Amino acid sequence: MTQKETGGGTGEVTLYTDGASRGNPGDAAWAYVIVRDGAVAASSSGFIGKATNNVAEYHAVINGLRAAREFTRGHLEVRSDSELVVRQLTGRYRITKEHLAALADEVRQWSRHFTKVRFENVPREDPCIQVADRLCNEVLDAEGRRR
């Protein structure tokens, strides 16, 4: 499920990400919303399989960074409601789990495609985070119906 708006605009690009799992670990999904010049430019979501919520959160950032290259190679704001992921990526928390360290390394690799990436923790109530959360839940609901 992808939605894109094309057109001009070289202003601000913000990536909002969310991950979700039903059970921890359990069925997991990721989603992102890319906002350019104040309007939604793209959004996408996907199913991971069985994973923890933290793994889903990292996959949301990775997939979002991959997609954000279409909209900017300059400064990118990444906003997530996952305090753990943001604090690990900014170095405030040490990453002690090997599988999360590998995902953080992947985030760093994708971040090199931009002149600057800034990670920020935002509340769940942020409207764009709520959209990403809804996209995650739609994926998980569809997967549940598929079974």
Q: CA-CA distance, 51 to 135, in Å (whole number)?
A: 17
Two tokens, residue 127: 């409207």
Residue 145 domain flag: no
Top pLDDT among 4 and 145 is at 145
Residue 81 domain flag: yes
Residue 86 domain flag: yes
93 in helix, strand or coil? coil
Residue 88 domain flag: yes
Residue 9 domain flag: yes
Residue 36 domain flag: yes
Q: What's the confidence (pLDDT) of residue 10?
A: 54
Helices 53-68, 98-111: crossing angle, 10 deg rounding? 10
The residue type of 10 is: T
What total of structural domains would you count in the chain?
A: 1
> At 76, which CATH number?
3.30.420.10
12-49: per-residue pLDDT in tens?
Answer: 999 999 999 999 999 999 999 999 999 999 999 999 99
Q: CA-CA distance, 11 to 134, in Å (whole number)?
A: 26
Range of the domain at 70: 3-139
Q: What's the confidence (pLDDT) of residue 87?
A: 98
Residue 131 domain flag: yes
- Does residue 111 carry a pLDDT above 60? yes
Q: pLDDT band for position 4 (50/70/90)?
A: very low
